[in-house]
Structure 1
Amino acid sequence: MSPTTLILAGLVLLLTVGIGTVVHELLHAAVLRASGVDYELQWLHGEATGRLGAGVFGTWASVELRAVPADLAPWRLRAASLAPLLLATPLVAVAAGVVPDPFAGDAVVLQLAVVGWLACSLPSPQDFSMVWHAETVLSEGHLPVADGA
């Protein structure tokens, strides 16, 4: 593999993960909006690192709940938490034979783009926490905090 291909593959991976992270959070937001939950999308925020530092070391995008309706069904919060799994739907097209398998050839740049995109489809630990503790969020209005935190 040439150095140019290696650099291009790294840049494509970084770009794909960046776009995938934003789409991941937008999928959360879309389900929350459809459920009537008040939320805030935050972009490039982090601990006192500024916007550039947040883009490199911090959070690129996140969804923060503001107010959760008391009569909201827990499955709606669970659906919002697991919505990013929809990013894995291109695998269905590959499995159905509609789209050629990107891992069948030597297209390293495409393969890293697919890996980065699929990595963004994975729910985060906070997402899984919302799945397991949806009732607590609805009754108390916040996620439970571990002892000592």
Structure 2
Amino acid sequence: MRAQFASGIITAQRRVKLVQELLQAQEWAKEQRKAKARKSLLKYAQRIREERTAARKEELKQEMQLIAQLEEQLQAETKEIKEKKEQERRRGLAFWMKTVCLIFVSLLLLLVAVLGSAVLYAQHYDQELLYRLLLRVLPQAMYASPAYFASRSLRVVCDGLLPI
């Protein structure tokens, strides 16, 4: 009996030991599954993080391209504005130069018309008027030459020197 009892105790101890080993194996398997699940979860989180980082990089790249395009457009528009300002300045200068030339030519034409009228009047009505006007308008050095040319075309009846 003792042998049977002893063998029963040994068997019970073995059973307890086997149950303990089985529980330890189950705990170990449970820990392994948890570790595997953690690793899987970490891999999933890492993959999501990488995808988000890639998406952010892509968005940043697109934003940088957009910024570069906007800068190019801004530079082009700035250059165009400068060219337009230069054209406006040139047009303004051309307008004023044209206006000044028009005024100058108009004055010259007016002067020619007045002088022509005076010459025609002097030639037909009062021939001495031209000589009197020449003395007042021109200095003496310049008077000699126009008086010579005027005397060839205009007949003046005068006794003595020309009137002063």
| Same fold at TM > 0.5 | no
TM-score by length of 1: 0.31
- Structure that is richer in strand per residue: 1
TM-score by length of 2: 0.29
